[in-house]
Amino acid sequence: MSFRNYKEKIDEGDTVILYLSNNLHAIEVRPEIKNKKGEMVENVYQTTFGALKVRNLIGSDYGSRVELSKGWGHVLQPTPELWSLTLPHRTQIIYTPDISMILLQLDLVPGCIVVEAGTGSGSLTHALIRRVRPHGHVHTFDFHDHRAKVAQEEFEEHGLAEFVTARHRDVLEDGFGDELNGKADAVFLDLPKPWAGIPHAVTAIKDDGGRFCSFSPCIEQVQRTCLALEQHGFQDISTMEVLQSELKVSRRTVPVRDLSFLKHKESKNPVEEKPSSEKSYVVGAWPASTPGHTGYLTVATLPPSFTRSEKNKTDKIGKFE
Ligand SMILES: C[S@@+](CC[C@H](N)C(=O)[O-])C[C@H]1O[C@@H](n2cnc3c(N)ncnc32)[C@H](O)[C@@H]1O
């Protein structure tokens, strides 16, 4: 339940983030777990700093220091950002630099209805939920039965079920369902063929118009998506890449020349240049290499329906190959 509200104390059933100096771990706070034989045994979590008795977390303060058998760590309240770094990977996931741009570009605010496909590991979904709650809703789809099921269980465990519905569906074949026709403020696609989902996005977006975003690793996917967006009446189509670069803060010692001898250069009594001294500075240095490519974000606006051309309105239910 710890995803839902900020709270002071850790309760049984919470998901907490154990922060160690070299790693982060998401731990479900259960005093006992099943072993391989199906017997309930003491829940002891192993880390590079030794073992943690999970039972001891119950009643501790969030943010407090906890003892491990060979060291210590801190227990933090989970956020979508920390969850993206610790979640069990069932697929490739979207990370915080791209997520922050997606939330901005989709114009999401509390109360929005957002449609997402595919759910994957639910990394983006957690951030979407935080943005649209308490009155908005995320409808997320995946054609992989197990992933859709596990995602819904995770949302329930995290106390987020009332803000999200995870469904098992091939959205390219079957769309997002009649119940979402004209209901969405925004549609997000992280699928191998996002262009094929665009007619369904048009159907789902409100008559007042809305935003669309897709994430694709390859530029060929982007090209087909942009063509399809244009064909279906979208405007303001643009593609961007988000590259995060972290400055490394360090102390550097540099030689400093004493230039005072220049003042006396033309005088009758010139002085000799003094040897350089050294001075230490705190500097922020760019990394030697740039971080790797994740994917391109293609964003677009579907204008209000009364401004859409007749052609686009009829295309709305057509299928783009
Ligand atoms: C890369 S993962 C999404 C990761 C997700 N954005 C995250 O941050 O965790 C892509 C997902 O799309 C699903 N998928 C692919 N084609 C689909 C389709 N036609 N309909 C629904 N889901 C689909 C896959 O099963 C996979 O789980």
What pLDDT shows up at residue 310?
Answer: 54
Number of H helices, E strands in the chain: 8, 17
What pLDDT shows up at residue 76?
Answer: 97
What pLDDT shows up at residue 282?
Answer: 94
Sequence spans of domains, the chain: 15-78, 83-243+292-315
Q: Which residues, other chains included, contact 50 with Cβ-Cβ below 8 Å and sequence gap of 6+?
A: 68, 69, 70, 71
pLDDT value at 115 more than 90: yes
Point out the least confidently predicted range of 101-110, 113-122, 195-204, 249-258: 249-258
8-state DSSP, 61: B
β-pairing, 71-76 vs 65-68, is: antiparallel
CATH class, range 83-243+292-315: alpha beta
Closest ligand 1 atom number to CA of residue 121 = 9
Digit-coded pLDDT (tens) for 119-172? 999 999 999 999 999 999 999 999 999 999 999 999 999 999 999 999 999 999
Phi, psi of 267, rounded to the nearest 5 degrees: -75, 170
Residue identifier of the C-alpha nearest atom 2 of ligand 1: 120
Task: Say yes or no: CB of residue 200 within 6 Å of ligand 1.
Answer: no
Cα separation, 112 vs 316, whole angstroms? 22
For residue 143, how far is its CA from the centre of ligand 1 (angstroms)? 7
Closest ligand 1 atom number to CA of residue 197 = 19
Quickly state the pLDDT bin for 268 (edges 50, 70, 90): confident
- For the record, the structure tokens of 169 come out as 């569906």
Q: Which of 125, 264, 250, 117 is nearest to 177 (CA)?
A: 117
Which of 119, 126, 146, 173 most suits a substitution to test ligand 1, by most atoms within 8 Å of the C-beta?
A: 119
Mean pLDDT of all residues in the chain? 92
Point out the least confidently predicted range of 80-94, 118-132, 257-271: 257-271
Percent of the chain with pLDDT over 70: 95
Digit-coded pLDDT (tens) for 9-56? 999 999 999 999 889 999 999 999 999 899 999 999 999 999 999 999
Task: Say yes or no: CB of residue 141 within 6 Å of ligand 1.
Answer: yes
What pLDDT shows up at residue 139?
Answer: 98
What pLDDT shows up at residue 315?
Answer: 52
Cα separation, 273 vs 73, whole angstroms? 54
pLDDT value at 318 more than 80: no
Digit-coded pLDDT (tens) for 216-238? 999 999 999 999 999 999 999 99
User: Are the C-beta atoms of 294 and 95 separated by less than 8 Å?
Assistant: yes
Q: Provide DSSP, 205-227.
A: B-TT-EEEEEEESSHHHHHHHHH
Task: Say yes or no: CB of residue 99 within 6 Å of ligand 1.
Answer: no
Quickly state the pLDDT bin for 209 (edges 50, 70, 90): very high
What pLDDT shows up at residue 136?
Answer: 98
What pLDDT shows up at residue 270?
Answer: 75
Task: Say yes or no: CB of residue 147 within 6 Å of ligand 1.
Answer: yes
The reply to whether 15-78 and 83-243+292-315 are identical in fold is: no
What pLDDT shows up at residue 317?
Answer: 47
For residue 233, how far is its CA from the centre of ligand 1 (angstroms)? 25
Closest ligand 1 atom number to CA of residue 87 = 9
The arrangement of secondary structure in 15-78, i.e. its CATH architecture, is Roll (3.10)
The CA-based dihedral angle spanning residues 110, 154, 24, 63, taken in that order and rounded to the nearest 10 degrees: 60
Percent of the chain with pLDDT over 90: 79
User: Are the C-beta atoms of 137 and 167 separated by less than 8 Å?
Assistant: no
Closest ligand 1 atom number to CA of residue 92 = 1
